[in-house]
């Protein structure tokens, strides 16, 4: 009897998740998700839904790490998830011809910094067995995959997982606290904003490498992605969602001071307004829905054997609504 009830409940939940007029979205920690903060704060999805005569119910959640995001998406417990470009590509590769997971939009071109409190570490070659690298999802997330691409360049393709053994899965806030305080096993952190800004204010912490160095310039940090099923079965909701993303990006570009206030309010951040504004106004950070240099990941990870399927261009792993924007 219990088994029948469980199956029925699961089926009902699945139907609820994929009903037109509903969308559940998960984001991770950090200012890299500012576009989503604006969406949530201004209720832009609901606004664009009403323009189509649709009352959209939006559910928000916050999860750390790409592995948990991908599992939730495939389980049907979330409609749209957010993570770095490599986790998206991994799921696109895994689900090609089945769930067909693809990206909705980029969330911005923002660098991640490899930072350390170990004074001896100046380059990747200085990292040793006693060092521990904190990343949100060891071996599979944006930071680990980016590090693997650079490791292959420095140490050779066969040794691209060289630093996986000293990588530790840890949310950015916890990794930042560990790096600043010292005295823990964490000596290094592949960090996103605002966390590396905080850490680098500490004199014992210094930058080793930027993801922009690895990718050849400004590149998309994180993306939103969903399944073909959700995309196709919810055309009005999806259209409202994409329109909301465009409006949020335009809002940030037009009024960075208010955008900074939005981050503080939505995330209940204790960071000062001036500090957050400095990050939002930093020319390295571009809060745009247009994808940049994502194909570098697709190409390099295919060469390393991480991806079985070879993408011909960025459009292979983005839904067609994104094609109206510039991309790479």
Show me where the domains of the chain are located.
2-109+219-324, 113-215
Q: How far apart are CA 245 and CA 243, in angstroms?
A: 5
- Given this chain, do its domains 2-109+219-324 and 113-215 carry the same CATH topology? yes
pLDDT given at position 19: 57
Instruction: Count CB atoms within 10 A of the CB of residue 155.
Output: 15
**Cβ neighbours of residue 168 under 8 Å, at least 6 residues apart?**
132, 133, 134, 135, 138, 185, 186
CA 272 to chain centre: 24
Fold for domain 2-109+219-324?
D-Maltodextrin-Binding Protein; domain 2 (3.40.190)
Tens place of pLDDT per residue across the chain (328 aa): 333 333 333 343 444 444 589 999 999 888 999 999 999 999 999 999 999 999 999 999 998 878 888 999 999 999 999 999 999 999 999 999 999 999 999 999 999 999 999 999 999 999 999 999 999 889 988 999 999 999 999 999 999 999 999 999 999 999 999 999 998 999 999 999 999 999 999 999 999 999 999 999 999 999 999 999 999 999 999 999 999 999 999 999 999 999 999 999 999 999 999 999 999 999 999 999 999 999 999 999 999 999 999 999 999 999 999 999 999 9
Question: Are the C-beta atoms of residues 246 and 147 closer than 8 Å to each other?
Answer: no
Q: How far apart are CA 17 and CA 259, in angstroms?
A: 30
pLDDT given at position 183: 86
Euclidean distance between the first and final Cα of the chain, in Å? Answer: 52
pLDDT given at position 92: 98
- Residue range 113-215, CATH number: 3.40.190.10
Q: How far apart are CA 32 and CA 52, in angstroms?
A: 29
Instruction: Count CB atoms within 10 A of the CB of residue 229.
Output: 15
What's the pTM? 0.89
């Amino acid at each position: 009897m219990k088994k029948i009830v469980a199956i029925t409940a699961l089926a009902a939940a699945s139907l609820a998740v994929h009903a037109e007029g509903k969308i559940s979205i998960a984001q991770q920690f950090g200012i890299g998700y500012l576009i989503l903060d604006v969406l949530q704060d201004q209720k832009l999805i609901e606004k664009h839904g009403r323009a189509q005569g649709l009352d959209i119910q939006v559910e928000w959640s916050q999860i750390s790490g790409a592995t948990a995001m991908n599992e939730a998406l495939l389980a049907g417990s979330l409609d749209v998830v957010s993570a770095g470009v490599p986790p998206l590509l991994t799921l696109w590769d895994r689900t090609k011809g089945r769930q067909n997971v693809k990206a909705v939009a980029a969330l911005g071109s923002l660098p991640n910094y490899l930072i350390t409190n170990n004074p001896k570490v100046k380059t990747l070659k200085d990292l040793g067995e006693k060092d521990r690298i904190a990343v949100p999802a060891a071996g599979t997330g944006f930071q680990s995959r980016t590090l693997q691409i650079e490791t292959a360049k420095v140490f050779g393709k066969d040794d691209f997982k060289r630093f996986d053994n000293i990588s530790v899965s840890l949310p950015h806030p916890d990794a930042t606290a560990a790096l600043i305080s010292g005295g823990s096993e964490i000596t290094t952190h592949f960090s996103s904003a605002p966390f590396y800004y905080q850490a680098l204010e500490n004199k014992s912490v210094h930058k080793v490498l930027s993801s922009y160095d690895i990718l050849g310039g400004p590149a998309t940090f994180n993306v939103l992605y969903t399944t073909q099923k959700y995309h196709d079965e919810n055309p009005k909701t999806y259209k409202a969602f994409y329109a909301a993303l465009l409006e949020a990006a335009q809002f940030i570009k037009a009024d960075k001071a208010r955008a900074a206030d939005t981050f503080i309010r939505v995330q209940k951040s204790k960071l000062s307004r001036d500090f957050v504004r400095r990050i939002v106004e930093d020319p390295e950070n571009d809060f745009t829905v247009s994808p940049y240099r994502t194909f570098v990941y697709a190409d390099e990870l295919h060469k390393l054997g991480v991806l079985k399927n070879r993408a011909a261009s960025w459009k292979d792993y983005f839904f067609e609504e994104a094609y109206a924007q510039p991309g790479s």
